[in-house]
Amino acid sequence: MKIGILGAMPQEVSLMARAMTVHRTTEAGLRTFFEGTWADQEIVLVLSRVGKVSAAVTAMLLLERFGVTHIVFTGVAGALDPQLRIGDIVIADRLLQHDMDARPLFPRYEIPLLGRTEFQAPLGGAAFRAAMLYAGSDFVKEVPEKHRANFGITQPVVYRGLVISGDQFIADPLKTIALREALPGALCTEMEGAAVAQVCHEMGDIPYAVIRVISDQADHAAAVDFQSFIDEIAEHVTGGIVHALLKSLSTGTV
């Protein structure tokens, strides 16, 4: 088992970069890939950069050049479901591209010539259990109290469901409402996960997980909340959940 781990922003992968044991560093496709070990697992860690194309290119490089067998994407997201609060955790059980619209040639959201709109996340169950473990114990130990207080976080709630992706940073309440109405089951919105999901599907149903932490409410305050959250809290949660997932994979307790 060789696990590729990627995130779109430097802060989302910084804790993992510090914690892992790096055996080799490789430059490919304008990216730096860190090959090594963490939590008794062979991993390849990389910053994908933002957006669906960047994420898809990175996932393909992980699969084709570095031979990973599993992929984990982790990072932050904007809430769509009104019950989600900043600091809550969302594990994708399926993903969809909300900006894919080739009507009238194809139904809305359907990937042209692929015949599907959603992609199931095979490692969603394992990631959910890892997130529950992290949220219930390590979160309060690892995230400084003053940072938790800045966002009114006591203990994050973990959700599992539909995650939607598009090449848009949603910071307009009207767009948020429109997405809720169009896709009532969606929990959160981000910019990469569904692209990684499509690559994993097309490359032979590679097992993958998408782990998201709510950084904002996808409203007018989203840009401010996002930047503060990603600087103060993101690396602890993204790294902590991935660490718990890697340990469960190494012990076979998935």
Query: In 3-state terms, what secondary structure has residue 156?
Result: coil
Q: Which of 35, 190, 216, 225 is catalytic?
A: 216
Show Cβ contacts of residue 241 under 8 Å, excluding neighbours closer than 6 positions: 74, 89, 127, 130, 131, 134, 211
Nearest by Cα to 238 from 2, 19, 1 = 19
Is the dihedral angle over the CA atoms 81, 56, 43, 118 positive or is it negative?
positive
Q: Which of 12, 35, 110, 192 is catalytic?
A: 12
Which two structure tokens, joined as six digits, stand for 213?
């932490």
What span, in angstroms and rounded, lies between the C-alpha atoms of 123 and 103? Answer: 32
Does the annotation count 27 as an active-site position? no
Query: In 3-state terms, what secondary structure has residue 182?
Result: helix
Does the annotation count 216 as an active-site position? yes
Show Cβ contacts of residue 189 under 8 Å, excluding neighbours closer than 6 positions: 77, 78, 80, 98, 163, 164, 165, 166, 170, 176, 179, 218
What span, in angstroms and rounded, lies between the C-alpha atoms of 104 and 131? Answer: 40
Positions annotated as catalytic residues are 12, 216
